[in-house]
Amino acid sequence: MIERSEIEKLGILSRIALSEEEKDAFVKEIDSILTYVGRVKDAPLSGSQSASMVSDVFREDGEPHETGLFTERIVTGMPSREGNYLKVKKILPS
């Protein structure tokens, strides 16, 4: 059974504030989902597991787009700007 304190910790880790009611609802819902998906823990891993499709897909660096092509469009979408800079709150405490 997932604990209420674990839900609170997940909220902090994932940067989502949770109301008290919501914590109660998530304990119940997430517990029922975890009980279902928890079946993988007991599933046997017989035979070969290597059906990997991994291949190298990186290209050489090069062919950049023209500098500044997207700047205005992207800066316009920022919640807070100063000139062409993204404006954020102070990160380090003074």
1 binds another protein per the rule CB under 8 A: no
Applying the rule CB under 8 A, the residues between 28 and 87 that interact with another protein are 29-30, 32-34, 36-41, 43, 45-53, 57-59, 70, 73-74, 76-80, 86
- Output the CA torsion 72→74→79→82 (10° steps): -40
Distance, CA of 70 to CA of 46 (rounded, Å): 51
Question: Nearest CA to 7 among 21, 37, 27?
Answer: 27
Residues within the interface to another protein (CB under 8 A):
2, 6-7, 10-11, 13-18, 22, 26, 29-30, 32-34, 36-41, 43, 45-53, 57-59, 70, 73-74, 76-80, 86, 88-91
